[in-house]
Structure 1
Amino acid sequence: MTDSPWPAPPQGTCGLPPALEVEVAILGAGIHGAALARELTLRGVSCALVDRGEVGGGTSQWSSQLLHGGIRYMLTGDIRQMREGLAERATWARIAPHRCRWEAFWMPHRFGLEGLAHRIGIGLYDHWGAERPGWPPALHLGHVPRAAFEADPRSIQGPFRGATAYADLMTWDRELTRDLAASSGALRLDFHEPEGFEDAGASLKALRLRDRRDGTARRLAARRWVFALGPWTDGAMAQWFGESRKRLRLSSGIHLWFDAVPGCERPWAIRRPKGRILFVIPRDGMLQVGTTEREVDDGWVPILEAERAELFEALGACLPAIPWRSLPVRAEELGVRPLVAAGGVTTHLSREAVLERHARFQNLTLVLGGKLTTARALMDHLATDLTGIRCEASRTEPLRLWDGQPAEIR
């Protein structure tokens, strides 16, 4: 965990005193840490949100930017995980309409039998996900009319003969994470470097911190601790406590951003081998494509040329009418997914999350794995476990905007 990959802190100071005390200290200001801060605030519990970078500045800003049920789970048979995601998708649409936008995604098919399978499977997906607050009536689901499909340049000269439309929710993940933090009363200790813990044998007592902006030392005391460090969990546990156990394996996916292509109005989700999905999504005046996947060792890794080549090859094979290799790449990003090992071993990986009570420090919980869509539900569960207080408002209370501006639905 070297300091070099982390962005330099901005100018300014924190303004908090050198000695701080809260009920719950949260390390990691990504989607899970920010969601937990909101959950604790809704329950009237004091907390602090600590990060060596900025809120939402790590892997939470490089997700697929979708709040979805997981259409790929229909293919793998993980119906329970899919239905959980669909229920949470509706919750996000209620509490963060200013950061969400419903879309009709097209899944193209190559031949008639595949098209029939899509219509059946996607029909179930939309049936189970029928709760769609704020759904635009102009968007149509199900069979895509041939004229509409053939008018899209992605259909020209390609292997696809038609498409089926399904509903999913697009978001802006970094802004959503920041809104969660803004909706909490947490003491915000972003750009703070952890320098060491104080413990009482079986429990953590306090954390010594150094403000990366001006070098100010601070001490944070808490009764309970939660590490929501995402892909940096194993490295942090090795650095802070000398632990060699690997709780996660990391999978990366890349996104490339091109100029908008005229006629590409609907997002496409293309089935690929091994259950992967190739997304081609018009958004924010550009065209986003991704992802490929590889196993990596850290949360900060570069994009390999082989990854770009594989993605361009897939685009050329699926959507040959668009000259992908001659289009300038306006931006590229690589997101790292922390995959938790099922049953404590890394031979079987899962997109599900695990809340692990630390074996030595009984007041420490580790958030392992998880994904953007179900982060709120997972942290609702954790906050209830930590405090003994249930909170129905978690599913209905609108988020406050990070910048304090009036909410604007995109």
Structure 2
Amino acid sequence: MTYDLLIAGGGINGCAIAREAALLGLSVLLVEKDDLAAHTSSASSKLIHGGLRYLETYEFRLVREALHERERMLAAAPHLIRPMAFVLPHAHSVRPWWMVRAGLYLYDLLGLGSSLPRSRALRRDDPRLAPIAHNVGGFLYWDAQVDDDALVRANAADAIANGAQIETGVGVTGAERGGAGWHVFLSDGRTIDARAIVNATGPWVKDFLARIRIRSDSGLQLIKGSHIVVPALWEGDHAYILQQPDRRVVFATPWRGSTMIGTTDVPVKNPGDAGITPDEIDYLCGAANRYFTRQIAPADVTATWSGVRALYDNGAGEARKVTRDYVLELDTRGAPVLSVFGGKITTARALAEHAMAKLGPAMGFTARPMTRDRPLP
């Protein structure tokens, strides 16, 4: 059988692209060697957010797109995504008050038209600052929390409902360019034909290109992010964003009756290096203990998760400065192959829209936005 599109990778980007393509009327086969959301897409900080800290590295385009997508996602999936207030204590701040206030003003401006409240300063006697030791005031702003695994599956369900075929436990072992497309060899022994391939394999994006013998000049940085879960450190459904001495920020959010703390930024060499280390647990415990009256130790950790993020290499020396924006690389030296470098859960829908716009001219179809106002199942 011949498909218009073979998508490799069943994370958020692959499933969002499958959904967009199916709604455009393309015949789609998505294959995932493990399970949907088995890796990076179920190991996030569980946030739909604009990325306040990205303003510091001047990623204004990404923040603006993410804030607009946040609004779309709140409308599309209220059963999976809920608004959440974030408290930013000014204790232990490595940035002056005026800089944080200016950043929040810019965050509000880039998200103009949002249904969420605007940011504001908090007095020391605000009850949401009560869990913070050495309270010197702070700020309040809004983003949203998501069940990331469920969001991936909702995208997949909508893709299937519109004709896409999604198969788990099946990987791509190789592919050859033919006269009008690709001959793709699957791990279950089948060979299928596809007019184009989308490489949405996340941390394995370069490995996949090597497997199908495509040369790419794009660099990739593999950055591990780990999270811990501890008994609840405060009462209430608000979250905290905590500035650290290394200029990173760490989130502390409610998660299923407990508190999630994350994330770390640790460069790794292999896509499969997604286990938390004792040093990371110590770092996250220390990040929380720097702020909260209620102290924690590694023995208090009840759960952990870690994911390897495949970030486009923009030449940044520090992991925290590597761009979180995505790059779509299209190779048209024969049948097309589109590779996804980077990406975030918040911007996956927009990424899928841009992927179709990029593939359209090469495949001879006219792409148009299909999911901007479409609810997720």
TM-score (norm 1): 0.81
Amino acid at match of 1:56: A
Q: Secondary structure at the match of 1:147?
A: coil
Match of residue 278, structure 2, among 290, 300, 305: 305
Q: Distance in 2 between matches of 1:150 and 1:228?
A: 40
Name the SS of the counterpart of 1:238 in structure 2: helix
Distance change >3 Å, CA 204–CA 275, structure 1 → 2: farther
Q: What does 1:87-166 align with in structure 2 at a 5 Å threshold?
A: 87-110=68-91, 114-133=96-115, 135=116, 141-149=119-127, 152-153=130-131, 155-156=132-133, 158=134, 160-166=135-141
Amino acid at match of 2:143: D
Contact 1:149 1:163 in 2 (8 A): no
Contact kept, 8 Å, 1:279 with 1:291, in 2: the verdict is yes
Aligned equivalent of 2:185: 208
Tell me the secondary structure at the aligned position of residue 376 of structure 2: coil
Q: Does 1:291 align with 2:292?
A: no
Distance change (3 Å), C-alpha of 1:131 and 1:209:
same
The answer for the alignment partner of 2:326 in structure 1 is: 353
Residue in structure 1 matched with residue 223 of structure 2 by the alignment: 251
Partner of 2:63: 82
Deviation of 1:296 after TM superposition, in Å, equals: 0.6
Q: Does 1:42 align with 2:23?
A: yes
| CA-based RMSD | 2.6
Q: Distance in 2 between matches of 1:150 and 1:176?
A: 29
Change (3 A) 1:384 1:97: same
- Taking structure 1 as reference, are residues 84 and 192 closer, same or farther at Cα in structure 2, changes over 3 Å only? same
Structure 1 partner of 2:207: 235
Could you list the per-position Cα deviations for residues 276-296 of structure 1 after superposition, in whole angstroms to 9, with x for gaps in the alignment?
211111122110001221101
Cα gap change, 1:197 to 1:151, in 2 (>3 Å): closer
Sort the Cα spacing of 1:354 and 1:362 in 2 relative to 1 into closer, same or farther, 3 A: farther
Alignment CA distance shift 1:71-1:83 (3 Å): same
8 Å contact 2:91–2:291 — kept in the other structure?
no
The Cα offsets for residues 44-95 of structure 1, whole Å up to 9 and x where unpaired, read as: 1111111101112221111121111110023333322211211111111122
Give the TM-score taking structure 2 as reference length: 0.88
Q: Does residue 1:168 correspond to 2:143, yes or no?
A: yes
Q: Secondary structure at the match of 1:102?
A: strand
Tell me, what secondary structure is at the counterpart of 2:264? strand
* The 10-residue stretch of structure 1 (78-87 or 382-391) with the greater mean CA deviation from structure 2: 382-391
- Does the aligned pair in 1 maintain the 2:89–2:129 contact within 8 Å? no
Question: Deviations 1:146-177 (Å, cap 9, x if unpaired)?
Answer: 32247632x12x4x411211111111111111
Q: Give unmatched runs, 5+ long, in structure 1.
A: 1-19, 212-216, 401-410
The answer to whether 1:377 aligns with 2:350 is yes
Which whole-Å CA distance do the structure 1 matches of 2:262 and 2:348 have between them? 22
Paired with 1:371 and 1:253, the residues of 2 have a C-alpha distance of 13
Q: Give the letter aligned to residue 69 of structure 1.
A: G
CA distance in 1: counterparts of 2:336 and 2:100, whole angstroms: 47
- State the partner residue of 2:291: 318
How far did 1:326 drift? Answer: 6.4
> Are the equivalent residues in 1 in contact too, given 2:173–2:211 (CA < 8 A)?
no
2:250/2:263 contact within 8 Å kept = yes
8 Å CA contact 1:253, 1:294 repeated in 2: yes
Are 1:269 and 2:269 an aligned pair? no
| Contact 1:225/1:365 (<8 A) preserved | yes
Q: Cα deviations across residues 341-392 of structure 1 (Å, max 9, x unaligned)?
A: 23xx686942221111236554111111122211211210111232343434
2:45 corresponds to: 64
Q: Contact (CA 8 Å) 1:197, 1:204: kept in 2 or not?
A: no
Instruction: State the match for 1:386 in structure 2.
Output: 359
Maintained 8 Å contact 1:26/1:225: yes
**Most deviating of 254-263 and 277-286:** 254-263
Number of aligned residues = 365
Deviation at 1:316, TM superposition (A): 2.4
**Cα 1:380–1:298 shift into 2, 3 Å:** same
Deviation at 1:243, TM superposition (A): 5.9
Partners of 2:92 and 2:244 within 8 A in 1: no
Q: Which amino acid is 1:305 matched to?
A: P
Identity of aligned residues (%): 32
Is the alpha carbon distance of 1:22 and 1:106 closer, same or farther for their aligned partners in structure 2, counting shifts above 3 Å?
same
CA distance in 1, matches of 2:224, 2:104: 27
2:174 is the alignment partner of 1:196:
yes
Supply the distance in 1 between the matched residues of 2:298 and 2:43 (Cα, whole angstroms): 25
* Aligned-partner Cα distance in 1 for 2:129–2:221: 42
Structure 1 window deviating more from structure 2 (384-393 vs 302-311): it is 384-393
- The whole-number CA distance in structure 1 between the counterparts of 2:2 and 2:303 is 41
CA distance in 1, matches of 2:285, 2:40: 23
Residues 1:238 and 1:268: Cα distance change in structure 2 (over 3 Å) = same
3-state SS of 1:372 partner:
coil
